[in-house]
Structure 1
């Protein structure tokens, strides 16, 4: 299934999520044709159980889909839809085939089937048809159109990160959050998604930079022949490989619940790599790499944006430190080597 997903999604994004399309979109624009193709492919509901309208795919298989969305700088909430529909399925609710997203930061209050409060930094909030959030320990599905106000915000890459406010809005569906899932499940899941997207973008940046270094000549030979350039490309390759391995491990270790330690490690690794990659890529590309006409900025702007979303490297590094120290000296080694219960 994983190989089929990889082949299909690469073909889909290669045909439709082209750099030309992404550059043609104004910041915050909705790519209707691209999203229709994604919805028709069934990928947006693939994470939900079959009896809830999905494909019952596990995170290990879906890793290649999320990574590809980062590699191609896909300007649509496919990763968000996967997490939203996964959580709906875990709560026993039906999947949403439309443009569904989620809010990791929510201050909602339930009252007899209605909800009031605010959702912050909602990815693609202005365009989504539905939003999944938590009201305490209750999973709720809301209609975007029921928001009394929408505060429009963009991240550095021009992707919507909006604030939605509700006042007595109808809850379309709700169910208790499974006891095995933590209160911050959407924050944790968002970090997992961004780690994989960062890994995909890092791989694309590496490929683009290596190719350019081989094509660009200076002093009669390709700049890839200079030791200083080779050193920087080697460091970029090392950080890209680390992010790829860490993010894939996070998806592989996550199942009915999400693996907290693996996800935290992946987000730290990928976020740290993002800054190094952007710096190296722009240095190697020189002046051409900062022009609007060159596709490099589509990736580096997302690296800069995604590394801080759903917890920065500092945030999750501190969380790893607290987790490693929580059991004291006796549990330190078993914890970090994953032998602890």
Structure 2
């Protein structure tokens, strides 16, 4: 089955489940509980439908899909503000399956260890995860959060986790690139969230009346909407290309481009939406803030745009340096041939 067809099928299934089970009320309840037990009914439904094993090889009991075939589902996670690390868990289960390790069935987060504090990591979704794959300078480890100290950050579900060595299990060297995989998953969910922010903003300005016509009819508003639409579209395309680079030699640079684009667009889309919606947008009752708060937080997860811009720039310099060296080598060979023939 072609990837586009499978992506469409998964997207439709994910949208249907999330529309029914991941309502704004559910998101608010999970964020308010800030507890590992929150959202378990929703999690069990996603797991039972096979979404979380989509990337696991078929011989290991999964669907054996490439990440590119699940991009639409990742967008759906973001567009419904899913308050659980489903995208992280999909990647984590694949990594563990390929390493021959049985994955925990609960939510698994992806994290990077604090280089200056051993046994400490900033963990997106840390308050609702049961385990994490954390990458250090020495390699990756699977860590149970049951015995860890978990400290939340503000109103988000992210946490700083301090874990004892007994809770950590070293993973084979094949489990690597956790940071770039986390960045890629985050970029894809951010793209879905930005699309929802744009749709909500468009609906608001078209419904809101001013001077006898909807706000959406004013040229200044239309210009601002077009700017938002450009950022949303660019982020979506970058995320799709990033997912297509999964498990290829271009994975790191593809993830870098996707995350840099998403992080750069996040404040522009969030702030632009709030500028158009006005004071209504920052109220707790209005759903817009469920997405914009998370976009601001996700901008910095696994590295901001400046970090990933450096990665992209270094890759470009290395690439063209190699090209230039090859060209010089050709001319040197031609000179030698000419000298020899003379």
Which category describes the TM-score, using the shorter chain as reference length?
0.7 to 0.9
Given that 1:91 and 1:139 are in contact with CA atoms closer than 8 Å, whether structure 2 keeps it comes out as no
Corresponding position of 1:4: 9
Pick aligned residue for 1:96 from 104, 115, 124 = 104
Q: Which has the higher strand share?
A: 1
Question: Structure 1: how far apart are the matches of 2:263 and 2:167?
Answer: 36
Corresponding position of 1:160: 158
Question: Structure 1: how far apart are the matches of 2:11 and 2:210?
Answer: 38
Alignment of 1:9-158 (within 5 A): 9-25=14-30, 26=32, 28-29=34-35, 30-105=38-113, 117-134=118-135, 138-147=139-148, 150-154=149-153, 158=156
1:21-78 CA-partner distances (Å, limit 9, x unpaired) = 2123406242122112122222122222123332212101121121111111001110
Corresponding position of 1:337: none
Given that 2:53 and 2:93 are in contact with CA atoms closer than 8 Å, whether structure 1 keeps it comes out as yes
Give the match's secondary structure for 2:164.
strand
Displacement of 1:117 after TM fit? 4.6
Displacement of 1:138 after TM fit? 4.7
RMSD (Å) for aligned C-alpha atoms:
2.4
1:142-173 CA-partner distances (Å, limit 9, x unpaired) = 322243xx131226x521323132133463xx
- In structure 2, relative to structure 1, the CA distance for the partners of 1:276 and 1:28 (3 Å cut) is same
Corresponding position of 2:217: 225
Structure 2 unmatched ranges of 5 or more: 1-5, 327-342
Give the match's secondary structure for 2:152.
coil
1:81-104 CA-partner distances (Å, limit 9, x unpaired) = 012112213323234332222322
Given that 2:126 and 2:157 are in contact with CA atoms closer than 8 Å, whether structure 1 keeps it comes out as no
Given that 1:288 and 1:294 are in contact with CA atoms closer than 8 Å, whether structure 2 keeps it comes out as yes
Question: Structure 1: how far apart are the matches of 2:252 and 2:100?
Answer: 22
1:176 matched to 2:172:
yes
Give the match's secondary structure for 1:304.
helix
> Normalising by structure 1, what TM-score?
0.85
Given that 1:80 and 1:102 are in contact with CA atoms closer than 8 Å, whether structure 2 keeps it comes out as yes
Corresponding position of 1:262: 254
Displacement of 1:106 after TM fit? 5.7
Question: Structure 1: how far apart are the matches of 2:12 and 2:136?
Answer: 38
Alignment of 1:232-251 (within 5 A): 232-251=224-243
Displacement of 1:134 after TM fit? 3.8
Corresponding position of 1:339: none
Question: Structure 2: how far apart are the matches of 1:41 and 1:78?
Answer: 13
Aligned length: 317
Pick aligned residue for 2:308 from 316, 324, 330 = 316
1:203 matched to 2:195:
yes
Given that 1:60 and 1:248 are in contact with CA atoms closer than 8 Å, whether structure 2 keeps it comes out as yes
- In structure 2, relative to structure 1, the CA distance for the partners of 1:27 and 1:284 (3 Å cut) is farther
Structure 1 unmatched ranges of 5 or more: 109-115, 335-341
> Normalising by structure 2, what TM-score?
0.85
